[in-house]
Amino acid sequence: MGSFFKFSTFILSDSHISFGEIRVSIIFIPHINMQRRKFLKVLGSASPALFAPQLMQASSASFIGPVVISTWAPNVKANAEAWRALSNGQNALEAVHQGVMVPESDPDDNSVGYGGLPDRDGAVTLDACIMDHLGNIGAVMGLEQIKHPISVARKVMEETPHVQLVGEGALKFALEKGFQKENLLTEKSKALWESWLKKSNYDPLQSIREIEKRIRENHDTIGMLAIDAEQRISGACSTSGMAYKIHGRVGDSSIIGAGLYVNNRIGAATATGVGEDVVRICGAHTIVEMMRQGYEPKEACRIALERLIELKGEDYARKTQIGFIALNKAGEVGCYSMLPEFSMAVRDAEAEYVIQAESIFSSDLK
């Protein structure tokens, strides 16, 4: 059953990609609703919305096994760390926390943590959030000089009566908790910012497209979801946000319900891309609610993207990029994006691999 659900029967064509010592398959999957059919067979019904509670039971009953998923192919490295935590008996919360710390420490990753591209004033400002299987949440926004915003978000969750801390308050809190101030602006990111300053043209889509062109060495925001052996689901999300943003801008990655959402009875979702548009449709929460209605993770991601088209029109949607990933209580996973080039890294008991997401539009050039 495991290989059936983990898409290996869906391979149309495959190739490989390497990240350091990790070499993984890239899998292209067609839009076949096999998982959904399986659910409906369990339910004996063709109406997902009417049978949501039973579906949740069916999902629980057919648990495939633990899995970790992340936005973007290079996060196979982050998944490996998360999987190590799960393999050592740690829970999904520990797994996503430790996994997300990997790109946060990586100076070559210029969209997360240390080495992240700065805002237009030259400040690296970080957003992150975390959510566990009990509905506990924590987030930091606009945090500067702290390499691991996900760890500060977790402290907010576990050691304060609040759920979000912002800017100077978040930094003060982090320092009180023993985090060390560091310069997060690497020479490489500084040089890119100085080059941008010459024209000072802010174009979120262009930033994302440039990142996608460099996808084999780089990526955008990390959103990570995990389900452990006891079917506890957790998620974490971390970013330096849109390059050259206005100082003080916050995207989706620290907004619970937009960049990340977990409902331990249903599943979880997380996002990457233009944060303004993810916030506009409460992306991650919408996906979880679609899974509650019985949609498989991939379909749920697509439906959330369609909400943006409904809200802002096709011309608008063609000029933005959003990538969603999701998993449900059974451990099934899926992804979808507005424009091409988005990918999801997957790690389970059988393999580590990358799924190239299908997209709503084939190009943003029309």
End-to-end alpha carbon distance in the chain? 42
Using an 8 Å Cβ cutoff, are 222 and 257 in contact? no
9 belongs to the catalytic site: no
Q: Which CB sits closer to ligand GLY, 212 or 252?
A: 252
Contact set for ligand GLY, span 203-222 (CB under 6 A): 221
* Closer of 66 and 251 to ligand GLY (Cβ): 251
**Quick one: three-class SS letters along 51-94?**
HHHHHHHHHHHCCCCCEEEEECHHHHHHHHHHHHHHHCCCCHHH
Q: How far is the CB of 185 from ligand GLY (least distance, A)?
A: 17
Contact between 91 and ligand GLY by CB under 6 A: the answer reads no
> Per the structure block, which two tokens stand in for 270?
């997380």
Nearer to ligand GLY, 145 or 253 (CB): 253
- Pick the piece of the chain touching ligand GLY (CB under 6 A) from 83-91, 174-182, 245-253, 325-333: 245-253
Among 239, 321, 328, 337, binds ligand GLY (CB under 6 A): 239
**Which entry of 71, 125, 221, 272 is annotated as an active-site residue?**
221
Query: Which lies closer to ligand GLY via its Cβ, residue 120 or residue 265?
Result: 120
Q: Tokens 């998923």 belong to which residue?
A: 69
**Which of residues 321 and 328 has its CB atom nearest to ligand GLY in the complex?**
321
Nearest distance, CB of residue 88 and ligand GLY, angstroms: 30
Size of the site for ligand GLY (CB under 6 A): 11
Residues 269-298 binding ligand GLY (CB under 6 A) are 272-275
Q: Is 356 in the site for ligand GLY (CB under 6 A)?
A: no
Q: Minimum Å distance from CB 47 to ligand GLY? A: 35
Q: Of these, 106, 252, 289, 348, which contacts ligand GLY (CB under 6 A)? A: 252
Q: Which of 242, 255, 304, 317 binds ligand GLY (CB under 6 A)?
A: 242
User: How many Å separate Cα 150 from the centre of its chain?
Assistant: 13
The stretch near ligand GLY (CB under 6 A) out of 47-55, 70-78, 166-174, 251-259 is 251-259
The reply to whether 125 sits near ligand GLY by the rule CB under 6 A is no
What is the footprint of ligand GLY within residues 5-34 (CB under 6 A)? none
CB of 22 to ligand GLY, least distance (A): 24
Point out which span in 66-74, 246-254, 280-288, 356-364 binds ligand GLY (CB under 6 A): 246-254
Nearer to ligand GLY, 86 or 284 (CB): 284
**Which residues belong to the active site?**
221
Question: Which parts of this chain interact with ligand GLY (CB under 6 A)?
Answer: 221, 239, 241-242, 251-253, 272-275
